[in-house]
């Protein structure tokens, strides 16, 4: 990723920005338009110097000082509307959803996501409608999610054995890695019919996936400042993107070729590791479509949510005990956890809701773009303006949430607010026609692993660590995970 701040101050060409930009500085300002409030900006680079790695936090801070619900930034040559209130989000994602149904044309998306054919970034139109229909009806329907229960149970049993072995060896469990491996394995089994987490192949696969998400969440200077495209080339960023794209292509081509060969030989579905279960690749081949989003969107985001949920529980021992007591009371000695059991775990569900409120996996959602001039909350928004919905800031709005920065799952016990896109105070998965289609799959997986680990083990921090010393810092990326791995010691709970 190009470090913009380093580039700006280290480049001998920085002083030229002021001269290059003089003729363009005021071109987008108009006395005839009532534009949203905006912080002061520099020529050419606009407000880029005010943005750091943790975009959601910087945007929230700028909005508090300069904008409020709506703020107009200029990120290089790209006008960008930042949305930081539920009312503003509702007007954009519901009232005028069609105007903002499109995605911006981002160079990195084109290269990594098959020329924008992936459902979350595809241009709004007939192709997007067809792919969304495939996702909703064939891949992520409630029936399909229920059919994946066997996969989740099998992978959960493997996780439990790993934790027991760690205990036998007197080792702390790296929960961050465990959660990522679990979600990878579940999604791989459901998508490809086999896992890619073991041995040298597994190490390469995990590295490729980590690099994919890191690059996708990176800063592409060429996208915002086209005249400085040479910086991305000289820094090696372009080469890094090409390497990730090539590796992903090779991996997915191998999966499809392997499946076609198996089918030609008369084998069933499931990729050779799924016991004959029909997986997403089988379904997609049947309808002659190819969309890898079922995998790329389902793994890092799910692992991020459960990592933060467990971190919050270890940070708040009383909440941890209350959640465990509920889980064990509902199960009453049962070893297998059914969806009916989980539906009776109201406090556990509240813990996950509160985690999503404080730590939405993609805090600024996927950007949108205005397809025409439009008025939002009395402000003029020009055609071609990018729109960033700061779901993180909206979920911490003190006008809506009491003690917004505190972890208090109780707030959801007698609260009708949900995260499925109908309550705009809480939109970790977006809303409207471009909302995430995989909510049910993601939350079923999160509930399953959280309930199992709280049921089967007692947990504490290693080396007598204190809850107040637990590192809560964030790491930059497409999804915002913990900066340091979450380590904990597990003690099996007698059944």
DSSP 135: I
Task: List strand residue ranges (DSSP E) for 167-255, in order.
Answer: 173-174
For 346, the 3-state DSSP assignment is helix
List C-alpha distances in Å: 124 to 94, 98, 110, 129, 136.
Answer: 15, 9, 15, 8, 16
CA 208 – CA 245 distance, rounded (Å): 10
Strands 379-381 and 70-75 come out as unpaired
436 annotated to a ligand binding site: yes
CA 44 – CA 177 distance, rounded (Å): 42
Task: For residue 34, give both structure tokens.
Answer: 């009532």
Give me the torsion for CA of 422, 425, 176, 443, rounded to 10°.
Answer: -20
Task: For residue 179, give both structure tokens.
Answer: 């959660």
The secondary structure of 350-364 as a DSSP string is HHHHHHHHH--SSTT
The enclosing H or E element of 312 equals: helix 300-315
What contacts 24+ positions apart, CB below 8 Å, involve 383-387?
384/79, 385/72, 385/79, 385/80, 385/81, 386/75, 386/78, 386/79, 386/80, 386/81, 386/104, 387/80, 387/81, 387/83, 387/92, 387/100
CB 74 within 8 A of CB 184: no
Task: For residue 81, give both structure tokens.
Answer: 């509307």
Annotated binding site: 436
Binding residues for heme: 436
């Amino acid at each position: 990723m190009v470090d913009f701040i380093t580039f700006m101050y280290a480049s001998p060409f920085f002083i030229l920005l002021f001269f290059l930009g003089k003729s363009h500085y005021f071109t987008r300002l108009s006395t005839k338009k009532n534009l949203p409030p905006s912080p002061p900006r520099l020529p050419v680079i606009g407000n880029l110097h005010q943005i750091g790695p943790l975009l959601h936090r910087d945007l929230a801070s700028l909005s508090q000082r300069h904008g409020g619900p709506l703020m107009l930034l200029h990120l290089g040559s790209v006008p960008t509307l930042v949305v930081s209130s539920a009312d503003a989000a509702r007007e954009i994602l519901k009232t005028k959803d069609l105007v903002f149904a499109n995605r911006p044309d981002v160079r990195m998306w084109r290269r990594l996501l098959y020329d924008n054919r992936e459902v979350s970034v595809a241009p709004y139109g007939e192709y997007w409608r067809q792919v969304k229909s495939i996702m909703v009806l064939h891949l992520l329907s409630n029936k399909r999610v229920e059919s994946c229960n066997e996969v989740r149970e099998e992978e959960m049993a493997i996780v439990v054995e790993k934790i027991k072995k760690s205990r036998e060896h007197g080792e702390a469990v790296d929960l961050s890695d465990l959660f990522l491996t679990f979600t990878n394995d579940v999604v791989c089994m459901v998508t490809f019919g086999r896992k890619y987490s073991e041995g040298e192949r597994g190490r390469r696969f995990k590295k490729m996936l980590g690099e994919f998400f890191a690059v996708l969440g990176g800063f592409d200077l060429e996208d915002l400042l086209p005249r400085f495209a040479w910086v991305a080339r000289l820094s090696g960023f372009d080469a890094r993107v090409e390497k990730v794209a090539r590796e992903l292509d090779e991996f997915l081509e191998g999966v499809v070729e392997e499946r076609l060969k198996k089918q030609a030989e008369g084998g069933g579905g499931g990729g050779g590791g799924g016991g004959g279960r029909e997986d997403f690749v089988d379904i997609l081949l049947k309808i002659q479509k190819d969309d890898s989003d079922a995998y790329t969107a389902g793994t890092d985001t799910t692992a991020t949510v459960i990592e933060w949920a467990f971190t919050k529980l270890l940070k708040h021992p009383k909440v941890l005990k209350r959640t465990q007591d509920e889980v064990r009371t509902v199960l009453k000695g049962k070893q297998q956890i059914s969806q009916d059991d989980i539906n009776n775990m109201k406090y556990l569900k509240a813990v996950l809701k509160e985690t999503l409120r404080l730590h939405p996996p993609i805090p600024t959602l996927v950007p949108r773009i205005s397809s025409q001039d439009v008025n939002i909350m009395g402000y003029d928004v020009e055609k071609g303006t990018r729109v960033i919905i700061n779901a993180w800031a909206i979920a911490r709005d003190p006008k809506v949430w009491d003690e917004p920065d505190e972890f208090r799952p109780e707030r959801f016990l007698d609260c009708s607010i949900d995260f499925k896109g109908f309550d705009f105070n809480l939109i970790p998965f977006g809303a409207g026609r471009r909302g995430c289609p995989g909510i049910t799959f993601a939350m079923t997986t999160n509930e399953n692993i959280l309930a199992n680990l709280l049921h089967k083990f007692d947990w504490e921090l290693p080396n007598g660590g204190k809850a107040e010393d637990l590192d809560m810092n964030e790491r930059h990326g497409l999804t915002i995970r913990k900066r340091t791995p979450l380590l904990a010691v597990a003690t099996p709970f007698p059944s």
